Structure 1
């Protein structure tokens, strides 16, 4: 008699040529399939969502969005702003650099988004990107003071409630987001008279204006007073426009209000560069601010920018000294109250920038630092990506368009505006 084992029907074996076992995704139930898809790089899922209706339906599934939100981090995309300073928000295509696939790519707006945009608001073309956090970008219309939040991956967007600040001087815009909510910070005035307002997506309202007091600390250097007296002297900086030496830092429109936001010991922190080249640190939790001492001496000519990487604040400086150029990354030690150089671009690369009056605009995410180096004379641009952990610098391939700056964000499908 044949054994029971021999009478049992065998399932066809599923093996690749190399012997690896293969389990078809079609045999997964929908919930489990969506959890598997959530681990795909965002750009991969966007292309694979056209494979079949089942995969496409995952894009709007609450289970899929919930699974995506459980992924700790995504490799950053760098949202590019062209050298003419025109906004990409009004175009049919957005240009990004995908650090996961290490290539430039377009993000096409879906047709229904374009129709909605044309029907509901003809003034979206006036919005310029000014800040980014997690999976969201913040746009600002300087003509009427309006703000708009967008998820560049899904093309969803939302206008914030109107805010009249015509009687105040706006000097910095910042953004900080979590999985559940986001905030937009506005800094008004000039040091030492600073105030701020906060938009909270949880309440969908702008909070009342609050004053930032100047902090006095024993950790401050006794030379700070002397430094304040020097501020009244003529200052020389390489313009943020990159083509003139100005008495104060000049910034391109998209970087005019740029700042860095982070949290430290549970406190909400925003840093920005003031017109004299000092880093101003605003603590919204304790409602005070202070300034770091100047990084380079007076009468030095340089280009400077702030970046945030892994929750840490860094300053990137392109300067010239002894007939060579250097691009260095600095971090401030609040205990010692001094600047420390942490990394530098290889001299073989940075020396090429000597005497060219270049401008740098930087963005960071995780352990990656993105640097745009532009020359306004011939509109040439070069782009570098630095891995901070290993001080590894990679020059990115040239692109069909010229970009002067970038904003980093994580491509998160589940990020809600």
Structure 2
């Protein structure tokens, strides 16, 4: 036994020597390497860096650290939640799978505004006067954009889409689509020039049209159990009134939004034309629908009722065969409780995931759909002061401290 103890003692000493020779502490790293190591930490740790020590506090405030953070290819998304009162900043952290309350940017307190778009590490707000503010929810940086000039003949605003080109250099675009079908126009704010470009009229795409043909056998229909025609359920969260998504394919930017009748309108702002996609449901059917962007393509989330049950499905449009293809469906055990409750669905895409807010007078739910695994996960409610908070919608953004407004 004594020999065994001496052997263990010698082995422990040997391991200690090896650790002393090969190991090192964070304090021994030079400034550049320390910044690179810390840049890989989850963004939520940013709030704690300054309280660790003076050196880390200095790192958190340095420009070179923000540059190091900008080299991280991607970060797990945060979902910026919109509550009916629009007076707080609460997010769901998909990396840590919990709710967080952020400090509301002080600049926003001076304006009556609501979030309307998000991209990269930024969230865009629109004021009641029609002006726009862009904020980084992580750093609370916020600034007001130049006022857009009046639209052609004061046409109503239809859609707002945001597309970021560089987080670190603060390069992003804001696209506004205005008018009534078939007369649509768009204008673009370019942050690199800090100005709005001239308004451009969109022409209707005639050749290879995607528009609905009532005699087409490829139309996808979900009729109500009685076969009757009812009012379209297109209620929207106020923040989703101008909701739109933008995709970039073959260097062409396309903005997608829902028209007042529930059709999906695609505006190619590069080639300056628009078209309408075939309906997923007959006109005036009862349903709730939203458009999202995932993996660089436009998808549609549709909640409809048939055969005594509700169905939530995700669709993509196959450009080759000009037809909608189902790619995911909520398990019936989850969707059945939605039947007959007049549920409004508001969604946002983030990579391979879709975040859904389901609301009605009787319930509110938050669901995340993983398109790769076809997993549907219901999130726990967010509680404040012992009460569950109801959120109407959400916006997805990457939490990046280097994102410049």
Q: Do both proteins adopt the same fold according to a TM-score greater than 0.5, normalized to the shorter chain?
A: yes
Cα deviations by residue, 1:209-244 (Å, 9 ceiling, x for unpaired): 1001111123647x63769xxxxxxxx99xxxxxxx
Residue ranges of structure 1 left out of the alignment (5+ in a row): 1-9, 228-235, 238-244
Structure 1 segment 11-22 matched on structure 2, within 5 A: 13=17, 15=19, 22=23
**1: CA distance between counterparts of 2:232 and 2:296?**
32
1:203 aligned onto 2:203: no
Cα pair 2:92 2:98 within 8 Å, conserved:
yes
> Match for residue 104 of structure 1?
99
C-alpha spacing 1:36/1:291, structure 2 compared with 1 (3 Å): same
Q: Which residue does 1:131 correspond to in 2?
A: 117
The 2-side partners of 1:31 and 1:127 are apart by 40
Q: Take 1:170 and 1:248, find their aligned partners in 2: how far apart are those partners?
A: 21
Give CA deviations for 1:220-279 in whole Å, capped at 9, x if unaligned.
47x63769xxxxxxxx99xxxxxxx74573322100000001211111111000011111
**Structure 1 CA distance for aligned equivalents of residues 296 and 62 of structure 2:** 31
Q: 1:412 pairs with 396, 400, 403, which one?
A: 400
Deviation at 1:31, TM superposition (A): 1.1
CA distance 1:297–1:28, change in 2 (3 Å)? same
Distance 1:163 1:219, change over 3 A: closer
Query: Which SS does the other structure have where 2:146 is aligned?
Result: coil
What does the per-residue CA deviation read over 1:61-90, in whole Å, with 9 as the maximum and x for residues that have no partner?
Answer: 2221111111111100000001x2x324xx
- Structure 2's unaligned 5+ residue stretches are 1-13, 217-222, 225-229, 384-388
Give me the whole-angstrom Cα distance separating, in 2, the residues matched to 1:220 and 1:381. 35
SS of match in other structure, 1:349: helix
What is the deviation of 1:55? 1.1
Q: Secondary structure at the match of 1:369?
A: strand
Q: Secondary structure, in 3 states, of the residue corresponding to 2:198?
A: coil
Counterpart for residue 182 of structure 1: 172
The CA RMSD over aligned residues, in Å, is: 2.4
Q: Kindly tell me: are residues 122 and 218 of structure 1, through their superposed partners in 2, closer, same or farther at Cα, counting changes over 3 Å?
A: closer
1:224 is matched with which residue: 213, 216, 229?
A: 213
- 1: distance between equivalents of 2:314 and 2:63? 42
Give the one of 380, 384, 398 matched to 2:381: 398
Structure 1 residue 57, shift from structure 2 partner: 1.6
Under a length normalisation based on structure 2, what TM-score does the superposition of the two structures give? 0.86
On the 8 A contact 1:219/1:337 being kept in 2, the answer is no
Measured against aligned partners, the alpha-carbon deviations of 1:254-309 in whole angstroms (never above 9, x if no partner) come to 00000001211111111000011111001111011111011112342111011111
In 1: Cα distance, 2:255 partner to 2:23 partner: 49
Cα separation, 1, equivalents of 2:268 and 2:48: 42
Mark the CA change 1:305 to 1:21 in structure 2 (over 3 Å): closer, same or farther. farther
- The structure-2 alpha-carbon separation of the partners of 1:134 and 1:361, relative to structure 1 and needing over 3 Å to count, comes to same
Are 1:107 and 1:153, in contact at CA under 8 Å, matched by a contact in 2? yes
Q: Which residue of 1 aligns with 2:39?
A: 38
Matched, 1:361 2:346: yes
CA drift of 1:165 comes to 2.5
What is the rounded CA distance, in whole Å, between the counterparts of 2:57 and 2:354 in structure 1? Answer: 33
When residues 14 and 59 of structure 1 are mapped into structure 2, their CA distance, relative to the original with a 3 A threshold, is farther
Structure-2 residue corresponding to 1:352: 337
Match of 2:6 in 1: none
In the comparison of the two structures, how many residue pairs are matched?
A: 371
The counterpart of 1:287, out of the listed 243, 258, 272, is 272
Instruction: Answer yes or no: is the 8 Å Cα contact 2:233–2:288 preserved in 1.
Output: no
Instruction: State the partner residue of 2:132.
Output: 147
What SS is found at the alignment partner of 1:87?
A: coil
Partner of 1:66: 67
Distance 1:194 1:225 in 2: 24
Contact kept, 8 Å, 2:210 with 2:278, in 1: the verdict is no
Provide the C-alpha distance between the structure 1 equivalents of 2:233 and 2:100, rounded to a whole number of angstroms.
Answer: 36
